[in-house]
Structure 1
Amino acid sequence: MARHRQNIANTRPLDLMTCSGGTLFLPRAYSELLDRWEQMEENLVDRARTCSRCSAQGPRWGGWRTQTPLGYVTLCPPCSGATFQRYTGHLRGVMYDSRRMRGTRADDYLCRLCAETRAAAWDHCHDHGYLRGPLCGSCNTFEGKSAPRHFLEEKEGAALHLLECRGCLEARTLPGRYHVGIVQKHLETTERHRLRSRPCRRQPWARHVELAHGAHRFELECWRHSTTWTKDVTVPDTLALVRDFVDQALAAQPGTVTVPAQAALGTTTRA
């Protein structure tokens, strides 16, 4: 019965096959049907990756597709930039659930992060409730569903986008779910176990274990030497590291002056 559930191009060809000398043969008409199906699929992919304004060819899968009230269209980044408004921060400090937001459409704007496609939703800070800006579906999903550390490391301008929240900016912090990722990166950059009289040169991998008694506990592992150890980082030290991260992000923005917030870590190590 299993063979009857197998299909090619939504058809079940196995009963049509014949075997001769270890080779499978299909009727000519069926082979031509498969060829036409493959050609139709290729034509649809080409249409989906062709900009509807300038006919430029985009990536084979996804990339330039953007949603409109009449359905999905394909627009290259230059055509998207010419079609949709660029968000200039004029709604900074507005609460996401305010009356002012209800009449403002996100899809009138270009995505604030990738700046390549039409925005689909207003992104906001769940900790403070302030609006951050318009994002396309892909960037909005990446911010909400990916590991926080990956969002900060892989999406250009991610930290500055999060700081569009007035509450985060004034407190020089980021939403709570990003704190562990920032400490993980710090520990992997600075922590090393010792090999006799010298520290190991290999960067360890840090894993968050728990938050207990006012401290985040991390387990660090050097795969090269099969060595593990733990590191406790207190909540105040975690906040200091996040503040330092924010100050560095703001300092990298042209025309921004910030006060350094680097603090010595009073951490505890357990071998």
Structure 2
Amino acid sequence: MPISREYARSLFADLTQNAPVPLDPDELLHMPRLRQHGHVFFGDIAVRCYKHKARWTYDERDIRAAGRAFADMEVDLDDVVDVQLPAYRDLPERDPEEWHRPNWRRQLVSWMFARAQNQLLEQGRSYDAWGSWRNIGANGLPGELTWEEFVASSSKARHLQNIAGTRPLQLLTWSGETWLLPRAYVDLLDRWERRQDELVARARLCSSCGEQGPYWGGWRTPTTSGYITRCPPCSGAAFQPYTGHLRGVQYETIRRRGTRADDYLCRLCKASQASVWDHCHEHGHVRGPLCGSCNTREGTARPYYFLQLEGGALHLLECRGCLEQRTLPRRFHLDVVRAHLEENERHGRCGKQPYVREAEHTHGVHRFQLQCSGWHATGKWTKDVTASEVATLVRAFVDAVQEGRPSPGDATEAG
């Protein structure tokens, strides 16, 4: 029997309230890695996700079975083993596919070092003073990080708490020489790594030709009945490219006519079947067919990154209203300004781009906080930008896009 995500979460929480392994039932609501393999993990138990009438659901029998398994699980908290955490490695040294593979030990290390690094940034310490931030202290943590600070920072973000739907920091202990976890829990996470690899291996195969896609699910396309894996050539053969024939048409018009978006390839990635007609919410004009992932990226991702996406800005200008008025939807305006400031503002003679964020907005003036990314502790200053200046920068950016200069930082002068 299909049940909602909310009911599944409530049922699983009730069944596992006395489980020996700390769990996060909210995983059933957030559904991490759904695109990658279509399941939610609790330890090595994979709960399959279903799409019923365009809504994600679960089978009640699966939820009850997973809940009973954890309720009956035996974990001797006194039988602990050395978890043998690996050494810290910088991101540039990692193979992209290898980094996406499940590795709970590496994930713990990543949490620790990321927090130690952020602590120094929050303290305003200069890069020269960092010195030994990677050195492990007597408490097993890097830099000057304490266990209390580490746990407190982790509690502020779900992705810094959960591994396979479990919460390892509630079981992790420091012996004075090494990190320890219950043996049964370590075995559970080791089995999770193998089980997730198995599911991803199946899900990354093109359903038409059997070709293997990227590990992180780049060929996975959302449909009304769930995800399907299809390589770009097979998608290109199955769906027609959008030619812009609906440019200037109001979205309500094609919605009333029932014009289908899933007959087309996604206009942005050009690799997946489209699922929706993307349109400008300010002018109402159709911009083109998008797959679920690209539509989510346009609607909810940070505008700065969408503007840097190949074809992203041109896609926004498929709206006739935006094009004729030389503007963009309002949610993109401040990120055009941020990119412009990053491109053109500098701390003294430092050649590095600063970090830029909006600090406040009063009486039509946006005040931006800039911080030198060259690790100069004193490199902080503000920049005020009026509403008219914002509009001028957006117009300049739109002109640059049409002239073939799509970088947000190219908005340097008005036309």
Same fold (TM over 0.5): yes
Question: Out of 9, 16, 20, which is 2:44 matched to?
Answer: 9
Question: Out of 366, 369, 381, which is 1:219 matched to?
Answer: 369
CA distance, structure 1, for counterparts of residue 340 and residue 270 of structure 2: 30
Asked if residue 262 in structure 1 is aligned to residue 413 in structure 2, the reply is yes
Question: Out of 337, 341, 353, which is 1:187 matched to?
Answer: 341
Structure 2 alignment gaps of length 5 or more: 1-16, 23-41, 46-68, 81-181, 406-410
Aligned to 1:249: 401
Aligned to 2:288: 133
Aligned to 2:211: 56
Please give the residue correspondences for 1:37-116 in structure 2 after superposition, counting only pairs within 5 Å: 42-68=197-223, 71-98=226-253, 102-116=257-271
Report the Cα offset of residue 147 of structure 1: 1.1
CA distance, structure 1, for counterparts of residue 213 and residue 245 of structure 2: 32
What does the per-residue CA deviation read over 1:158-189, in whole Å, with 9 as the maximum and x for residues that have no partner?
Answer: 00000000000001111111111111111111
When residues 100 and 139 of structure 1 are mapped into structure 2, their CA distance, relative to the original with a 3 A threshold, is closer
When residues 9 and 137 of structure 1 are mapped into structure 2, their CA distance, relative to the original with a 3 A threshold, is same
Question: Out of 324, 337, 348, which is 1:170 matched to?
Answer: 324
CA distance, structure 1, for counterparts of residue 391 and residue 183 of structure 2: 68
Report the Cα offset of residue 49 of structure 1: 1.2
1:97 aligns to what SS in structure 2?
helix
Aligned to 1:238: 390
Report the Cα offset of residue 73 of structure 1: 2.5
Report the Cα offset of residue 81 of structure 1: 0.8
Contact 1:237 1:263 in 2 (8 A): no
Report the Cα offset of residue 126 of structure 1: 1.3
Report the Cα offset of residue 70 of structure 1: 5.8
CA distance, structure 2, for counterparts of residue 43 and residue 219 of structure 1: 46
When residues 39 and 237 of structure 1 are mapped into structure 2, their CA distance, relative to the original with a 3 A threshold, is closer
By relative contact order (CA 8 Å, sep 6+), the higher-ranking structure is 2
User: Which residue type is aligned with residue 246 of structure 1?
Assistant: V
Structure having the higher Rg: 1
Contact 1:240 1:261 in 2 (8 A): no
When residues 75 and 99 of structure 1 are mapped into structure 2, their CA distance, relative to the original with a 3 A threshold, is closer
Aligned to 2:39: none
Asked if residue 150 in structure 1 is aligned to residue 305 in structure 2, the reply is yes
Contact 2:223 2:275 in 1 (8 A): no
1:4 aligns to what SS in structure 2?
coil
Contact 1:215 1:234 in 2 (8 A): yes
Report the Cα offset of residue 116 of structure 1: 0.8
When residues 101 and 209 of structure 1 are mapped into structure 2, their CA distance, relative to the original with a 3 A threshold, is farther
Q: CA RMSD in A?
A: 3.4
What does the per-residue CA deviation read over 1:222-259, in whole Å, with 9 as the maximum and x for residues that have no partner?
Answer: 24242222111121221111111111111118xxxxxx
Report the Cα offset of residue 192 of structure 1: 2.1
When residues 3 and 94 of structure 1 are mapped into structure 2, their CA distance, relative to the original with a 3 A threshold, is closer
When residues 8 and 152 of structure 1 are mapped into structure 2, their CA distance, relative to the original with a 3 A threshold, is closer
Report the Cα offset of residue 109 of structure 1: 0.9
Report the Cα offset of residue 39 of structure 1: 7.4
What does the per-residue CA deviation read over 1:29-56, in whole Å, with 9 as the maximum and x for residues that have no partner?
Answer: xx9xx98x98776554333111122111
May I ask how many residue pairs the two structures share in their alignment?
244
Aligned to 1:228: 380
Once structures 1 and 2 are overlaid, which stretch shifts more, 211-220 or 241-250? Answer: 211-220
- TM-score when normalising by structure 1: 0.77
Percent identity between matched residues is 55
User: Which residue type is aligned with residue 265 of structure 2?
Assistant: L
- TM-score when normalising by structure 2: 0.52
CA distance, structure 2, for counterparts of residue 8 and residue 242 of structure 1: 48
When residues 120 and 245 of structure 1 are mapped into structure 2, their CA distance, relative to the original with a 3 A threshold, is same
CA distance, structure 2, for counterparts of residue 261 and residue 225 of structure 1: 28
Asked if residue 210 in structure 1 is aligned to residue 360 in structure 2, the reply is yes
User: Which residue type is aligned with residue 209 of structure 1?
Assistant: A
User: Which residue type is aligned with residue 381 of structure 2?
Assistant: W
CA distance, structure 2, for counterparts of residue 176 and residue 234 of structure 1: 15
Report the Cα offset of residue 218 of structure 1: 1.0
When residues 70 and 233 of structure 1 are mapped into structure 2, their CA distance, relative to the original with a 3 A threshold, is closer
Aligned to 1:256: none
